[in-house]
């Protein structure tokens, strides 16, 4: 008879207590001394101040942790629910020495302590950054998010981009793109959905930009996308159409840039409303006119294009393109449009010989989506 290959149960021959038996139980763990570990380690130098301090324990539970600034002020922190770790809850300062003291009780019932100090890094420079749109703004559906570094170039673009986050009230497909070494913009693939709530966070403090530069401060902003309004100008038509949610709500006769001279065209491309001024100065000595003030000026590029009143050109408005690149409207129409416009509204220009150059703000919508995505440092 063959014997089955199974172990016998307690109470049978060869079971618990029998010679050579397995015993069927588990061996109790031996009490052990607690082991505390700190990050940053004792005597560490050049510690990035944006990273949290963490004290962990094995073979025991944390009793207390104190992290002190050079001035003797306690840095706040929290012990985890399982009492196996403590994490600081406040960023540290640059070029400062911090000290910590931690205590824990091991499974052997004995207390152990860990004391030490570390020093945070001293950056060569801490350039400031800016973020736009500003808090609580309501902007048009073409408005990009822009983070700029006016005081220096960013070398480690990937690190910076990883620190940027865009949260939206409903899903919106979009991407960051580096327009140059000092500016990264985020825009959606298509125009923003009207009414979207947007929160942007930039965790830049303590972040290495490269070249010895580190972030000066975190940035954040919350803004809202307004109604969907898009202006469309096909320059040969001598009119400007205003659309709301895809339907024409206003049509204004216009005189656009001179057709025969590409340098004076109203250039093709999708621009956005950048600025609104009740009165704008359109003097241009190069073309022989000075002290030219026009009402209801809506800037749509830094290349020199505006939508504005020009009653002096009323004979050509709706009939011929005679401006030096701006969209000229009659005063009442210019006022009506001015009152309806939001910063960030798209303005789509077609029909000209020339196209808008990608050399000045804001040209985000002049770049095809596939190319825009490739301008991310993380692609």
Largest CA distance in the chain: 117
Q: 3-class DSSP state for residue 370? A: helix
- State the distance between the two ends of the chain, measured CA to CA, in whole angstroms: 69
Rounded-to-integer distance, Cα 9 and Cα 7, Å: 7
Q: Which residue matches tokens 């014997």? A: 3
Distances (CA, A) of 376 to 131, 148, 180, 186: 18, 15, 11, 9
Q: Is 236 exposed, middle or buried (0-12, 13-18, 19+ CB in 10 A)?
A: exposed
Q: 3-class DSSP state for residue 255? A: strand
Backbone angles phi, psi at 114, to 5 degrees: -135, 125
According to DSSP, the residues that pair with 67 across neighbouring strands are 100
24: alpha, beta or left, given left = phi > 0 and alpha = psi -120 to 50? left
The residue among 233, 244, 205 whose CA lies nearest residue 350 is 233
According to DSSP, the residues that pair with 88 across neighbouring strands are 77
For the chain, percent helix, then strand, then coil, each to nearest 5? 10, 40, 50
> Which helix (H) or strand (E) element contains residue 294?
strand 293-299
Q: Which residue matches tokens 């052990």? A: 32
- The active-site residue out of 5, 238, 308, 324 is 308
The residue among 211, 219, 212 whose CA lies nearest residue 129 is 219
Is 324 one of the catalytic residues?
no
Is 5 one of the catalytic residues?
no
- The active-site residue out of 5, 303, 324, 326 is 326
Rounded-to-integer distance, Cα 272 and Cα 342, Å: 9
Which residues does the annotation mark as catalytic?
Answer: 308, 326
């Amino acid at each position: 008879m063959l014997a089955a290959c199974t172990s016998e149960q307690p109470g049978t021959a060869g079971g618990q207590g029998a010679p050579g038996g397995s015993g069927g139980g588990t061996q109790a763990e031996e009490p052990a001394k607690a082991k505390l570990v700190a990050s940053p380690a004792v005597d560490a130098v050049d510690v990035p101040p944006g990273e949290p301090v963490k004290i962990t324990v094995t073979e025991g539970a944390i009793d207390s942790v104190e992290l002190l600034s050079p001035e003797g002020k306690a840095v706040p922190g929290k012990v985890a629910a399982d009492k196996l770790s403590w994490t600081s809850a406040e960023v540290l300062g640059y070029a400062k020495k911090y000290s910590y003291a931690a205590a824990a009780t091991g499974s052997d019932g004995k207390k152990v302590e860990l004391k030490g100090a570390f020093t945070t890094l001293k950056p060569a420079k801490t350039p400031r950054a800016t973020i736009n749109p500003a808090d609580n703004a309501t902007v048009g559906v073409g408005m990009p998010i822009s983070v700029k570094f006016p005081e220096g170039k960013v070398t480690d673009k990937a690190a910076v981009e990883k620190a940027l986050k865009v949260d939206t009230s409903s899903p919106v497909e979009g991407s960051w793109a580096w327009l140059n070494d000092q500016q990264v913009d985020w825009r959606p693939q298509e125009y923003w959905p009207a009414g979207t709530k947007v929160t942007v966070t930039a965790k830049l403090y303590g972040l290495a930009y490269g070249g010895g530069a580190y972030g000066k401060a975190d940035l954040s902003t919350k803004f809202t996308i307004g109604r969907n309004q898009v202006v469309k100008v096909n320059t040969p038509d001598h009119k400007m159409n205003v659309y709301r949610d895809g339907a024409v709500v206003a049509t204004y006769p216009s005189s656009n840039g001179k057709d025969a001279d590409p340098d004076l065209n109203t250039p093709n491309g999708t621009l956005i409303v950048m600025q609104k001024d009740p009165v704008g100065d359109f003097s241009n000595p190069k073309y022989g006119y000075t002290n030219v003030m026009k009402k209801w000026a809506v800037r749509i590029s830094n290349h020199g294009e505006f939508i504005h009143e020009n009653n002096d050109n009323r004979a050509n408005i709706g009939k011929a393109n005679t401006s030096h690149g701006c969209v000229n409207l009659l005063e009442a129409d210019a006022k009506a449009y001015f009152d309806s416009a939001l910063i960030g509204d798209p303005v789509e220009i077609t029909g000209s010989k020339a196209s808008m150059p990608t050399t000045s703000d804001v040209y985000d919508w002049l770049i095809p989506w596939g190319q825009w995505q490739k301008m991310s440092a993380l692609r």
